[in-house]
Structure 1
Amino acid sequence: MEITKTSFQFLFANTIRALFKQSAKEFENQNVNITPEQHYLLRILTSQEESIQSDLAEIMQKDKSAIMRHIDQLEKMGYVVRVNDAVDRRKKHIVITELGTEVLKKCEEIINRLSERNMQDISENELEIFKKVLIKLKENAGK
């Protein structure tokens, strides 16, 4: 099957790249020194009580070494810390810091503004249909 500029695969991949590029540019414009992927990682850390590298890799569908690089960078910036597990000393939990929570809040404000702007002229009905289609696509991809 030939992929054209109007094919679903092309449009979907280009849209995802455009959204990531847009948020990366806006983070930079607002002096937020993290990538959209690092933002997503911080978001995950706030939604889970305990996070270890392998769990984060699974959630983000990335390899462990890619996640480790993100964690290393976030740790250098003071946004996360590694904490030893009380039972298994080989395990390190990744915990968001107060500074990380502050930068996450700023990122969320940026993302919310961008989302509002990007969702202009998209009805609630269109959005609901799109969400249902995405769910079906994900389910079908997992078969």
Structure 2
Amino acid sequence: MEITKTSFQFLFANTIRALFKQSAKEFDNQDIKITPEQNYLLRILTSQEESIQSDLAEIMQKDKSAIMRHIDQLEKMAYVVRVNDAIDRRKKHIVITELGAEILKKCEQIISNLSEKNMETISDDEMETFKKVLIKLKENAER
């Protein structure tokens, strides 16, 4: 199958890139020094009691070294800390700090505002249909 500028794969990939670029630009405009991926990583950390690097890599579908680089950067900014496991000292849990939770809250507000702006011309019915199609695509891809 040939990929053209109107093919699903091209449009979907370009849309994701455009949304990430838009949020990165807005983070920068608001002097927030994290990337959209780091924002996603922080969001994951708030939704799980315990997170280790390999779990985060699996959730984000990235290799462990890429996740480690993100964690290192977030740790330098004091948004996360590594905590030794009580049983296995080789294992380190990644925990979001209070400062990390504050920056995440700011990022979520920015993303919410951008989403609202981007959805202005999309009806509720169109969005529901789009979500259903995405769910089916994901289910089909995981078979």
TM-score category by the smaller chain? over 0.9
Give ranges in structure 2 of 5+ residues lacking alignment: none
- Structure 1 match to 2:141: 141
Aligned residues: 143
- Structure 1 match to 2:67: 67
TM-score, L = length of structure 1: 0.98
Residue 59 of structure 1 aligns to which amino acid in structure 2?
I
- 1:47-126 alignment to 2 at 5 Å? 47-126=47-126
Tell me the CA shift for residue 130 of structure 1.
0.5
Residue 34 of structure 2 aligns to which amino acid in structure 1?
I
Tell me the CA shift for residue 67 of structure 1.
0.3
Tell me the CA shift for residue 125 of structure 1.
1.0
Helix, strand or coil for the counterpart of 2:82?
strand
1:11 to 2:8 alignment = no
- 1:123-134 alignment to 2 at 5 Å? 123-134=123-134
Tell me the CA shift for residue 97 of structure 1.
0.4
* Aligned sequence identity (%): 85
Tell me the CA shift for residue 3 of structure 1.
1.0
Cα distance in structure 2, aligned partners of 1:54 and 1:121: 40
Helix, strand or coil for the counterpart of 2:127?
helix
Tell me the CA shift for residue 129 of structure 1.
0.8
Tell me the CA shift for residue 81 of structure 1.
0.1
Q: What is the aligned-residue RMSD (CA, Å)?
A: 0.6
Cα distance in structure 2, aligned partners of 1:56 and 1:31: 26
Give ranges in structure 1 of 5+ residues lacking alignment: none
